[in-house]
Chains A and B, each alone.
Chain A
């Protein structure tokens, strides 16, 4: 039996499994393309037109527009590929953590420090 047969959700955690990989294929492919500067320039000049090239759904496009990281994860985004989108916006992993947890960046950083105490 696969460990993925356990369907009990892990709180606050979105497992990137086959169903997410299928749902998010175009979205992740778009983000993967952003490894290249020319793609980042094209994305920056017209984000929605660029998303359409990769067949993103309306929901995914909306989440890109709103920088809605949780929404992107729920719609099949993988954090590793999304990091290329958010990183291009100048956001680091503490910024992303703050967005996802609804904290300020200072609060999120304090939470990390507290984990070490």
Chain B
């Protein structure tokens, strides 16, 4: 059976992709951030996942406002990264797992999640930057990827609980898949930041730290924050916490924090990195 072996929370700021392209990871501004991925790389090398389920949001590449799904799941053979309009490098195609995607979609709809199923899905920095961070040098050709896109651009947006529950259903779906696959779940984006408005530049270290603490052992405690609360406390783009909620929802049983890093500022953001493992309660 397929198994979720752990989860990784990571920022997906475009400037990271630019830094990688310019090869400036060792400069003082970037060093602490990139060094924070060494334990993640070691863990990936040791655990050797076959599949990555990546929670991210689309910043206006695939989806315009003519149709704006709340939750979309990729079910394509491959995913292509396209020009985003302002110069970030594209990455080589990312390979999908259509069978597992459809299995997850079938289970999600059965679980009453009315998702949008995408047989074509252009991927932007929300997914490409985490791929570059996890597998430097774009060395991800051995990985199959299932994109899960959450609307973080247009209100109304789904609640933290809803995204957690989505993750939980995805986790259940994976565990019921009858192929021996090792699956890692990526929660991308965040943490606190605000790009737009007179309050642009807001970052909230205290809140981010609390969220990362709660994500380990007490994620339900975060349900009390509405999307409006998150916007107020963690900024307009702080709502990307929803992808971390989805990631965490896919874990079950005892969750252990193996590694954490947090750097301010990376671009306009409090950039969190987190590696979690879990010991699911075995089903008899």
Contact = CB atoms under 8 A, between A and B. Distances in A.
Contacts, number: 142
- The residue among B155, B204, B263 with the most chain A CB atoms within 10 A of its own CB is B155
B267 A93 contact: yes
B153 interface: yes
Contact of B231 (A13, A18, A28, A34): A13
A32 B154 CA distance: 14
A103 B276 CA distance: 39
Contacts of B61: 35
Contacts of B228: 3-4, 6, 10
A101 B198 contact: yes
B236 A84 contact: no
Interface string B256-267: 000000011101
Interface size class of B (residues with CB under 8 A): 35 or more
- The residue among B59, B65, B194, B196 with the most chain A CB atoms within 10 A of its own CB is B196
A6 to B, nearest CB: 6
Contact of B205 (A36, A83, A108, A115): A115
A2 interface: yes
A94 B199 contact: no
Contact of B197 (A2, A6, A14, A25): A14
Contacts of B231: 10, 13, 15
Given A29-B64, A37-B83, A21 B15 contact: no
Contacts of B65: 21, 25, 28-29, 32, 78
A70 B65 CA distance: 20
B84 A93 contact: no
Interface string B165-205: 00000000000000000000000000000111111111111
B7 interface: no
A101 B200 contact: yes
Contacts of B229: 3
B30 interface: no
A108 B85 contact: no
Interface size class of A (residues with CB under 8 A): 35 or more
A97 B195 CA distance: 7
Contacts of A112: 201, 203, 264-265, 268
B265 A100 contact: no
Contacts of A79: 195-196, 236
B270 interface: yes
A113 B156 contact: no
Contacts of A14: 196-197
Contacts of B263: 116
Given A25-B65, A29-B64, A92-B15, A13 B199 contact: yes
B64 A93 contact: no
Interface string B30-58: 00000000000000000000000000000
Contacts of A64: none
A79 B82 CA distance: 19
Contact of A116 (B197, B202, B203, B236): B203
Given A12-B202, A17-B155, 11 more contacts: A13-B197, A21-B154, A28-B64, A79-B195, A80-B60, A97-B268, A108-B200, A108-B201, A115-B270, A116-B263, A116-B270
Interface of A: 2-4, 6, 10-18, 21, 25, 28-29, 31-32, 34-37, 40, 69-70, 73, 78-84, 86-88, 92-94, 96-97, 100-101, 108, 111-113, 115-116
9 contacts: A13-B194, A14-B196, A36-B83, A78-B60, A78-B153, A81-B60, A83-B59, A94-B267, A115-B201
